[in-house]
Amino acid sequence: DIQMTQSPSSVSTSVGDRVTITCRASQGISSWLAWYQQKPGKAPKLLIYAASSLQSGVPSRFSGSGSGTDFTLTISNLQPEDFATYYCQQANSFPFTFGPGTKVDIK
């Protein structure tokens, strides 16, 4: 199985800040990576797919980059509704696997 790691595990930040989350795959996955946002008691929401493609309806302050084994999710101008946990998922091979999550909370 492809193992996914994320850093940091949590970050405290403020409205208006820029946040960068890193995801690393244990082997190359080309650009087959997605990012999700999850709020407590809710299902994950797809933000980014194919490493850098913005899902329809997702604000442009979310952006993704990377290929191979190293990927980043950047949230610019953080808004109150962005405080949540973010997960990466490799979509390269079975079984699909997720990272352990990065919690973004208010400083």
Partner 1 sequence: QVQLQESGPGLMKPSETLSLTCTVSGGSISSYYWNWIRQPAGKDLEWIGRIYSNGNTNYNPSLNSRVTMSVDTSKNQFSLKLTSVTAADTAVYFCAREMGGPNWVFDHWGQGTLVTVSS
Residue ranges in contact with partner 1 by CB under 8 A:
1, 32, 34, 36, 42-46, 49-50, 55, 87, 89, 91, 94-101
d(CA 50, CA 73): 12
Residue pair 52/58 in contact (Cβ under 8 Å)? The answer is: no
Q: Which is nearer to partner 1, 17 or 30 (CB)?
A: 30
Q: Which is nearer to partner 1, 80 or 94 (CB)?
A: 94
Query: Cβ 82 to partner 1, closest distance in Å?
Result: 19
DSSP, collapsed to helix, strand or coil, labels residue 44 as coil
